[in-house]
Amino acid sequence: MKKVIVTLLIIAVAVVLILATFVKPYNNMVQKDEVCSQAWSNVENVYQRRADLIPNLVKTVQGAAQYEKSTLEAVINARAKATSVQIDPSNLTEENIAKFQAAQDQLSSALSRLLVTIEKYPDLKANQNFLELQAQLEGTENRIAVERNKFNETVNDYNSYIRKFPNNIIAGLFNFDKKGYFKAAAGAENAPEVEFNFE
């Protein structure tokens, strides 16, 4: 009888140790995964804020710059594409983030072209609505950069945690997969060429 009790105690202690070894890392992975999802949600929110500003910007520009129809259409089409790319926070793979980023980069490029063409319209540059929208867009672009950086930091923390031993075993057992990062846009490593025209 004594041997049975001792054996049961040893088994119970072993089970508790094994569970303790798995439970804490598993719970940490769940918590870090949730932080990544929250950070992703923050990224989507700032991109949505930018998308929400664009219709007002387009309306303001349409009235003053009738000849920039193709540029305005490019902005509208890029906005539609950017808002159509949605990613489930549970599937933040490198490929999905790259698709999302490509759509957002197209919108950024279209907006940049629009803002450059507006230089031809002094009345528009003096329009109070336009100036406010432009300031809000600039602020939103800064927020986007901040939220993308925070997202990358949380993903780095999560990815590092699930790759460490013995966490990698637990991550594999419970399908905690590596998440993707935002990367710099192609060509961002090259300094832009600046030309000054003194006429």
Residue 76, C-beta contacts closer than 8 angstroms, at least 6 positions apart: 54, 58
Query: Domain for residue 198, yes or no?
Result: no
Reported as a single tens digit per residue, the pLDDT across 19-42 is: 877 888 999 999 999 999 999 999
Burial zone of 18 (CB within 10 Å; 0-12 exposed, 13-18 middle, 19+ buried): exposed
User: pLDDT tens digits, residue range 46-89?
Assistant: 999 999 999 988 888 877 666 677 888 889 999 999 999 999 99
The predicted pLDDT at position 60 comes to 81
Domain-located, residue 181: no
How far, in Å, CA of 196 to CA of 147, rounded? 34
* CATH number assigned to the domain comprising residue 48: 1.20.1440.20
Give the number of domains in the chain.
1
CB 36 within 8 A of CB 158: yes
> Please, what is the average pLDDT of the chain?
86
In a domain, 25, yes or no: yes
Domain-located, residue 142:
yes
Asked whether residue 191 is domain-assigned, the answer is no
- Quote the Cα angle for 89-81-138, to 5°: 85
Give the pTM: 0.80
Q: What is the pLDDT of residue 41?
A: 95
Domain contains 192: no
Its domain, for residue 12, covers 2-173
Q: Using the 8-state DSSP alphabet, how is residue 196 labeled?
A: -
Residue 88 counted as domain residue: yes
